[in-house]
Amino acid sequence: MFIVLSLLNPDPMYKQVTDQVKDAIAGGILKPGDKLPSIRELSLELKISIITTKRAYSDLENEGYIITRPGLGSFVADINKEKLREEKLAEISVTLLKIIKTTEKFNITRDDIFTLVKEIEEKTNESHR
C-alpha cells in the first residue's frame, strides 16, 4: 500500500490511515470496487496493532468510503465523488474562516496572504522540476 505513518504527525495512527485512504479514493488511486488489503495484512505492513487498523476500517465504513463483506474483505464503495468534493470544500471553508479571524487580530492584510500563496506556489513548482 501507499500508506506512510509518522510518529511525528500529531494525528493518531488510525486517523493517519483513514485520511490517506480517503485521499487515495479522491485522487482516483483507489477506485470503487477495488479491494483493500485485509486488516491483518495492513497491520503487518504498517507495523501497527490490528485494533488500530480495525478502528480505521470501521471509521471508513461508517463514513461510507468502504464496504466490508465478512469473509470476503473490504472494498472501496461506490462513492459520489461530487459529494466528497463538497465535504472537502466545507472543511476548507472552516479553516479559511479561522485564518480570516486570525488575520484580523494580527494586522495581517490580504496582500500578505497573496504574497504567501505566491511563495508557496513557487516553491511547489521548484520541487516538481
Partner DNA sequence: GTGGTCTAGACCACA
Partner DNA sequence: GTGGTCTAGACCACC
Footprint on this chain of a second copy (rule: CB under 8 A): 7-8, 12, 23, 26-27, 62, 67, 69-72, 75, 84-85, 88-89, 91-93, 95-97, 99-100, 102-103, 105-108, 112-113, 116-117, 119-121, 124
Name the nearest CA neighbour of 113 among 100, 98, 127, 125.
100
Selection from 43, 46, 41 nearest residue 2 by Cα:
46
Instruction: Name the residue nearer to DNA (CB basis): 78 or 86.
Output: 78
Residue number with CB closer to DNA (7 or 89): 7
Among a second copy, DNA, none, partner that 75 touches (CB below 5 to 8 angstroms by kind): a second copy
Residue 25: C-alpha distances to residues 33, 59, 116 (Å):
11, 15, 30
Query: Binders of DNA: how many residues, by CB under 7 A?
Result: 24
Which C-beta is closer to DNA: that of 27 or that of 70?
Answer: 70
| 54 interacts with, out of a second copy, DNA, none, CB within 5 to 8 A per kind | DNA
- Positions that interact with DNA (CB under 7 A): 12-15, 38-41, 48-52, 54-55, 57-58, 68-74
